[in-house]
């Protein structure tokens, strides 16, 4: 018995994870190897940041380019099917991200976003160190 296209789409979408993603693991390993220690998925903070450096009052989000509407080639892709839905969905995600960053700033936290497309670029560790070590 073959799956209907709707059932296949549903199963595919359910398999997409919101935490412990491959880009997040890469950033976590990089920072841990550099000696930084952190907590994961700060449930008490707006947006549940991926990495929380409580002593420094800093957080890092690792965003997927497509899901959060980044302006890179991968983030600018528009789905062919149900384009209106996806455009609205990504717009809501971007609005929510802005609200979460503003709420964190208002609470005295500094936030940094690492985009999926930046993960394999040279100098990522240097940029993260600059963010984490700045006062």
- What is the rounded distance in angstroms from the CA atom of residue 93 to the CA atom of residue 73? 18
pLDDT at 63 over 90: yes
pLDDT at 17 over 70: no
- What is the rounded distance in angstroms from the CA atom of residue 78 to the CA atom of residue 75? 8
In the chain, what's the furthest Cα-to-Cα distance? 60
Per-residue pLDDT, 128: 97
* Banded pLDDT at 1 (limits 50, 70, 90): low
State the number of CA atoms in the 13 A half-sphere of 135 facing the CB: 0
pLDDT in tens, 84-124: 988 999 999 999 999 999 999 999 999 999 999 999 899 99
Which of 3.40.50.720, 3.30.450.70, 3.40.960.10, 1.10.3720.10 is the CATH number of 18-133? Answer: 3.40.960.10
pTM assigned to the model: 0.86
- Domain boundaries along the sequence of the chain: 18-133
- State the Rg of the chain over Cα: 17
């Amino acid at each position: 018995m073959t799956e209907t296209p709707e059932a296949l789409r549903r199963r595919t979408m359910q398999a997409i994870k919101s935490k412990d993603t491959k880009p997040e693991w890469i950033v976590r390993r990089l920072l841990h190897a550099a000696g930084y220690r952190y907590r994961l998925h700060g449930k008490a903070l707006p947006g549940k940041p991926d990495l929380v450096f409580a002593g420094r009052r800093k957080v890092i989000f690792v965003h997927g380019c497509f899901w959060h509407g980044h302006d890179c080639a991968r983030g600018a892709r528009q789905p062919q099917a149900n384009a209106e839905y996806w455009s609205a969905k990504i717009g809501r995600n971007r609005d929510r991200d802005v609200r979460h960053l503003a709420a964190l700033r208002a609470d005295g936290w500094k936030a940094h976003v690492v985009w999926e497309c930046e993960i394999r670029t040279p100098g990522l560790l240097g940029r993260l160190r600059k963010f984490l070590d700045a006062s």
